[in-house]
Amino acid sequence: MKISANREEALTRWSSRERRLLPWRATRDPWKILLSEVMLQQTQVERVVPKYDYFVASWPDINDFAETPLDVILKAWSGLGFPRRAVNLHRTARIVVTEHGSVIPRDLETLLTLPGVGPYTARAVLCFAYEIDIGVVDTNVGRILARWSGSRLTNKTAQSTADSLIPSGRTWEWNQGLFDLGALICKRHEPKCSQCPVLEWCSWQGLGPDPSIGSAGVSSSQKPFSGSDRQARGKLLKALSDGPVSYANAECVMGIAKETIRADKLVAALIADGLIYAALNGQELRLGKSFD
């Protein structure tokens, strides 16, 4: 017979046994936590680990990162995808250095003013760096909360539920436990309910329609990568990390030869995002910003 004192105990006990060893779990350094959270926003854990290690080894301090030219950061970011994150992280680092004395803010309101720092990332920094009692709702946690409650949740309800469940003083442990539960047991498809440490507190238990579908914070399937604008942009950025590309050749490099209008739009968007710039009267494209 299963005997559990309460959900908090059941989850944290299971989590302390099963916790995944991830490098950002060994630190409370706010810069490293912010870096890991930005990298994890749209990239899988396995792909983030080596990049995170490389970035931490290269820029252990936010001051070094802020001083590094953007094109160097973008080259290092290559392979992680969604490079706009790197541009925003670089802007954030410069703001933190110049306006906050190189200290990453420890209040939600100020964190939310930083480029690329949304409600999830801000809360993750507060929880995992500063150990402030606050709920962190990513796609895994959003899914678990909906299943526990047995109904679709709104953004507001998901966040207030997550906040209300935090065991006082154990925010780091609790939220990491939820992440591990979502990654290892309460998976999106075919959750392993029979192995779940908190089965008895779950309203859904895998029976009937899944309440997490369409619930707040729960991501739906991504569009196919092959043939996408994302793929085309990635090809151009990869080529640019080896050196300049002539504007005339950009559509071939992106694998969309003869789609000139589409290519022009993609190049314009990359320039607008601050990822690349046009030099030599617009004839040549280069990585980063022209003032770096």
Minimum separation from the CB atom of position 105 to ligand SF4 (A)? 34
Q: CB under 6 A: which stretch of 42-50, 119-127, 195-203, 254-262 binds ligand SF4? A: 195-203
Is 37 among the residues known to form the active site? Answer: yes
Minimum separation from the CB atom of position 133 to ligand SF4 (A)? 22
Catalytic pick among 37, 46, 190, 284: 37
Question: Which residue in 63, 110, 139, 205 binds ligand SF4 (CB under 6 A)?
Answer: 205
Region of 114 please: left (phi>0), alpha (psi -120 to 50) or beta. beta
> Which of 1/57 has CB closer to ligand SF4?
1
57 by Cβ neighbours in 10 Å (0-12 / 13-18 / 19+) ranks as exposed
Question: Which residue in 56, 202, 245, 285 binds ligand SF4 (CB under 6 A)?
Answer: 202
Region of 194 please: left (phi>0), alpha (psi -120 to 50) or beta. alpha
Quote the crossing angle between the two packed helices 30-40 and 119-128, to the nearest 10°: 140
Binding flag, residue 199, ligand SF4 (CB under 6 A): yes
Binding flag, residue 11, ligand SF4 (CB under 6 A): no
Helix (H, G, I), strand (E, B) or coil at 215: coil
**Could you tell me the two tokens for 56?**
């931490």
Cα(98)–Cα(102) distance, integer angstroms = 7
List Cβ neighbours of 141 (8 Å cut-off, separation of 6 or more): 135, 162, 175, 178, 179, 182, 217
Minimum separation from the CB atom of position 144 to ligand SF4 (A)? 6
Cα(17)–Cα(19) distance, integer angstroms = 6
Minimum separation from the CB atom of position 138 to ligand SF4 (A)? 15
Question: Which residue in 120, 179, 204, 247 binds ligand SF4 (CB under 6 A)?
Answer: 204
Minimum separation from the CB atom of position 8 to ligand SF4 (A)? 14
Cα(124)–Cα(141) distance, integer angstroms = 12
Question: Which residue in 80, 93, 144, 250 binds ligand SF4 (CB under 6 A)?
Answer: 144
Catalytic residues: 37
> What residues line the site for ligand SF4 (CB under 6 A)?
144, 147, 185-186, 191-193, 196, 198-199, 202, 204-206
